[in-house]
Amino acid sequence: MTSKTASLILSALLVSGTSAFTLSPACAAGAAPVSAPTVTGLPDFTDVIDKVGPAVVNIRTTERVSTRGGAPGEEEMQEFLRRFFGGQMPPRGGRRGPPQAEEEREVQRGVGSGFIISGDGYVLTNAHVVEGADEVTVTLTDRREFKAKVLGADRRSDVALLKLTATNLPYLRTGDSSKIRVGEWVLAIGSPFGLENTVTAGIISAKSRDTGEYLPLIQSDVAVNPGNSGGPLINMRGEVIGINSQIATLSGAYNGISFAVPIDEVTRVSEQLKATGKVTRGRIGVQISEVTRDVAESLGLGKARGAEVSMVEAGGPAEKGGIKVGDIILAFNRQPVETTRDLPRLVGAAKVGSRASVTVWRRGAQVEVPVTIVELQDEKSTPGKPAAKKPAQGATANALGLTLSAIPQADRRQLGVEGGVLVESATGAAASAGIEPGDALLQWNNTPLTSVEQFAGLLAKHDKAKPVALLVQRDGATQYLTIKPRP
């Protein structure tokens, strides 16, 4: 399998001793020599494991399912026949008897890991470990077993909080995941493939790895397999810095890259789960997209940063506060928004009902917009506004490959725009940039568009060696597309 055909899969690890090696330093020609490391031997993990091991638990989950009475395996055979042959297995003896009564039985769903965070029995694990479970059994290293109550689970962060009826339990201390360093040694303890209290070691490979909407995950090369889910990622001080949650794999098992939810985020989530059984996040009612380098340069931003507002929810907090399509959100409550992934995390962590200050780049200047945070509900589709209708006349061709016309006032109301021009056809550079007939062009770089004549004047004055960023609205969504004029 080549790298082009292989697909990289991020897997949740539900049923879920590296060999050390050294590399001799080598200096490239002209490069400064690397100073020798102060560590003279491999680290000894034994004291850390002795201290933290008793607080790591094995988690088994079961589910109650209803089946009809009959011979062992008969239900599975009936399902096989139904799915593949459309038939049904006749009763034994060749005669059809009366319908069998349904029976309820427990089936094991999976095996995972977790760890105790307080002596009175609070346990952390992954949400996907306990999802759909009717019964959760927690086993300690001393073989004691407890039936756990699921206080709450948050699928977005993949964190669940359990409670055991017990006292004086061993527990782990939490560290500070914001202070972790790439290259530091870390340990994972869990139940890979059901093998309880298995220890693996490695280093932190990267921080703030963007693999989730609300989570910058910790990447490590610690061996993590199905069954490790929910187990702790531990530093050399014996502190938990994350919950092992995912792997990047080509085979379904460990391929050298694993991910953990940072403990700082876990703590915030678990506190809400403990208090209310759910996690409340904020929202402001916008859809966003990436800001490209060409767009940033055309708008005078300098470098690609921020989140472009491509749609504003009608009647939502952003619209009420004054955020507009085409704005580039640069900061939220004075915290920089470098990429589109930063904004959902910052807004999600904001207190519902609070008033936030949003810094946007609009028409060449920064503007502060006040927005009131509302609660994020279950995801639902936001209907877009209809595209403008194509006028029959008034079209004007230009050097970008665009044939444009004015947008009738009635269509402007339908689109929810004050100005703009309509694309009747797009060829050449415009078509290559992704512009299509029916698109509404709302802005040229930082200048709002009002007419076809204005567009022609801007094009005539534009430096043909530089790209132009056009704010394009299509089916209710808006984004910047860049076009480089033909000489």
Specify binding-site residues for substrate.
128, 158, 227-229
Question: Which tokens go with 12?
Answer: 């949740």
For the chain, counts of helices (H) and of strands (E): 10, 29
**Residue 208: active-site member:** no
Catalytic choice (158, 342, 411, 439) = 158
The SS3 call for residue 165 is coil
Torsion of CA 328, 334, 338, 343, to 10 degrees: -70
- What residue type is assigned to position 136 of the chain? V
d(CA 205, CA 262): 14
Q: Tokens 């008969």 belong to which residue?
A: 74
* Rg (the chain; Cα; Å): 29
Q: What share of the chain is helix, strand, coil (3-state, %, to 5)?
A: 20, 35, 45
> What token pair was written down for 439?
């698109």
Residues making up the binding site? 128, 158, 227-229
Could you give the CA distance from residue 134 to residue 49 in angstroms, rounded to a whole number?
Answer: 32
Q: How many angstroms separate the CA atoms of 102 and 68, rounded?
A: 4
> Where are the alpha helices (H) located in 243-300, listed in sequence order?
263-276, 293-299
Tokens of 343: 């904004």
* Two tokens, residue 278: 């759910």
Cα distances from 478 to residues 62, 317, 420, 472, in angstroms, run 47, 18, 12, 5
Among candidate residues 11, 191, 229, 310, the one labeled active-site is 229
Task: Please tell me the total number of residues recorded for the chain in this structure.
Answer: 487
Rounded alpha-carbon distances, angstroms, from residue 149 to 123, 191, 196, 453:
10, 20, 21, 69
Q: Within 10 A of 148 (CB to CB), how many other CB atoms are there?
A: 25
Q: Which residue has the tokens 């008897």?
A: 97
Measured distance CA(329)–CA(314) in Å, rounded:
18
CA distance 284 to 353: 11
Catalytic residue among 11, 16, 113, 128: 128
Residue 409 amino acid letter: Q
Q: Is 128 a catalytic residue?
A: yes
Closest CA to 243 of 161, 138, 169, 179: 161
Give the separation between CA 99 and CA 110, rounded to whole angstroms: 32
Give the residue numbers annotated as catalytic, written as ranges: 128, 158, 229
